[in-house]
A and B are shown apart, each in its own frame.
Chain A
Amino acid sequence: MTLLAAEGVTLAYGTTAVVHDVSLSVDEGGVGLIGESGSGKTTLARALLGLLRPRSGVVRYGSADLAGLGRAGRAEFRRAVQPVFQDGSEALDPRMTAGASVAEALTTHHRVPRDERRDRVAALLTGVGLDPALAGRRPHEMSGGQRQRVAIARALAVEPRLLVLDEPTSALDVTVQARILDLLEGLAADRGLGYLLITHNLGVVGRLCRTSSVLFAGRVVESGPTADLLTRPAHPYTRALRDAVPRLGGEPPRTAGRTEAAPAPTGCPFRLRCPWAADHCRDEAPELRELGGRKVACHRAEEVLTTPASSIPASPAARVPRDGGEAPDAPRQ
């Protein structure tokens, strides 16, 4: 069942649109949203959290338009959907103790008697694998992993159905990362909690998300079952993201064309970085289309699917080292 959905959402800061006509639906199975920094993934997450109004399009909670929710509906939405941000030190008020942060969440929607509050906070901290004695610590007195657990406990305090996780582990050491992912996996199994996981690292989506969408320059370029995207990507960008992930003892990561090339203003936005780019890609922007159980926006997806790793064409940037005539001279966001 769809918990939260974007339908044709366009988002803009001032006059610059950063997300173009994106549709995405999040269900209990977990959904990954994958892209580089500047792809618009965090902006889209803010819209799904109701922190940013779409320029056009609709964000739906269940069947209701988020923008049209009344007071009661809004409160219900707030209880059901909670964020966990990249860095616990950013997401926790530096002046509040861990206990106070969790207690704030507990008491926002319900009156909780003072003596009961302490026990509930302790239970929530224990639930995310923390010693309840940490309740008295402030964020700067805890490790990165502990802060992230407190942030998760705070989100869980309202008993949500969906967590929006924005790069929840990328600021952490690998072993801590793995433990946080274990925790999230366990929570999904025990409570039927759904996730929208936003990340640039394909290595983490596989564990938590049944389906994924890949975002490039504010557009969905591929979406479908996560396992398919990881094993047989149909879009050159998905493939580039996948091949860039370092594997233990594996081949060195493959570079994905020149990442500094800005999205092309006309035709396919990825063409300046794309090894498969053809004349057709310059003239016509590809639409999202169905292809074997997934959606992909690429004219040459069939070829991308079947080209072996050993014969990927050289990317355009590699062919013309002094390229840049077409790429606007702007810094990446």
Chain B
Amino acid sequence: MTLISVRDLVVRIGDRVIASVPELDVAAGECVAIVGESGSGKTTTLLSTLGLLHGADVAGKIRVGETDVLTASPARLREIRGSRAALVVQSPQAALNPTMRLGTLMRRALARHGVKGARARERAEEAVRAVLLDPEILRRHPHQVSGGQAQRFVIALALALGAQVLLADEPTSALDVTVQAEVVAVLRRLRDERGLAVLLVSHDLALVSTIADRVVVMRDGAVVESGPAAEVFARPRDPYTRELIAAVPRLPEPAGMDEEGS
């Protein structure tokens, strides 16, 4: 089932086209990554799928679930962002009210969707476990958790509200590699076990290659290449994609440990 569908998207500021995407679909249980450098239009594309782009002309057709984003009422858009689709940003701590415990934040969000009491607590704890956090974290304030924990909590919040679509904008580039690995593990798990549709924006090709099913490469607002991830990484057609791939720092392969160990 296609949960995000974008057709003939053209985003303009004045006369300048800052993003143009002919076709982009994300199905349930699938991760699609938009790859590019700053200024490539990747974040613009992501934001316009949620109707979050202000001060720009957005033309084309964008569907999230059943809703046509470009014609939907503001109230309907808010509802979608609140429950169906959630945005995960680079520094989530700024989006969390510092005076509230994470549990309180979660409870209020659930209450707005009519989930209260013991059922709300259950849902909260279940969502937190789903992102591999200890439910103990619900007793903490935002400043008492690490960046990686905050990132996963924001994902849990979206899950508790029943999100089926995650839009992640450079979700790990502010994190240590070890913490980044945890966030990637969580995203993979949610995609595989809960059938979430994940639209990921990143400049880190190595990271993208470990999670994305399909890849869209953007440069200067235009799509230069797209296709199944394995295909694109193994046989890049566009010279720019090749340049991006060549730029990934290489680690030497682990020495023949497996032979030694066995």
Contact = CB atoms under 8 A, between A and B. Distances in A.
Is chain B found bound to chain A in the same assembly?
Answer: yes
Interface stretch (A77-85, A103-111, A117-125, A173-181): A173-181
A173 B243 CA distance: 12
B143 interface: yes
B177 A310 contact: no
Q: B-side binding surface: helix, strand, loop or mixed?
A: helix
Contacts of B205: 174, 248
Contact of A174 (B181, B203, B254, B262): B203
Contact of A203 (B210, B244, B249, B253): B249
Interface residues of A, number: 56
Interface residues of B, number: 51
A231 B255 contact: yes
B211 interface: yes
Interface in A31-55: 36-37
A200 B181 contact: no
B248 A248 contact: yes
Contact of A308 (B178, B185, B262): B262
B105 interface: no
Nearest to B139: A329
B197 to A, nearest CB: 19
B246 interface: yes
Contacts of B136: 322, 324
B221 interface: no
A166 to B, nearest CB: 14
A260 to B, nearest CB: 6
A244 B255 CA distance: 17
A232 B254 contact: yes
19 contacts: A36-B178, A143-B38, A173-B37, A174-B37, A175-B243, A177-B249, A181-B249, A202-B251, A231-B252, A244-B177, A244-B181, A245-B206, A251-B210, A253-B181, A254-B181, A255-B182, A260-B145, A308-B258, A324-B134
- Report, nearest first, the 3 A-B pairs whose CB atoms are least far apart: A203-B249, A308-B261, A178-B247
Interface of B: 37-38, 129, 132, 134, 136, 143-146, 148-149, 176-182, 184-185, 188, 203-207, 209-211, 230, 233-234, 243-255, 257-258, 260-262
Given A230-B252, A250-B210, A252-B185, 10 more contacts: A36-B178, A179-B247, A241-B177, A248-B209, A254-B181, A258-B132, A260-B146, A310-B258, A321-B129, A323-B134
Interface of A: 36-37, 143-144, 173-179, 181, 200-204, 206-207, 227, 230-232, 240-256, 258-260, 305-311, 321-324, 331-332
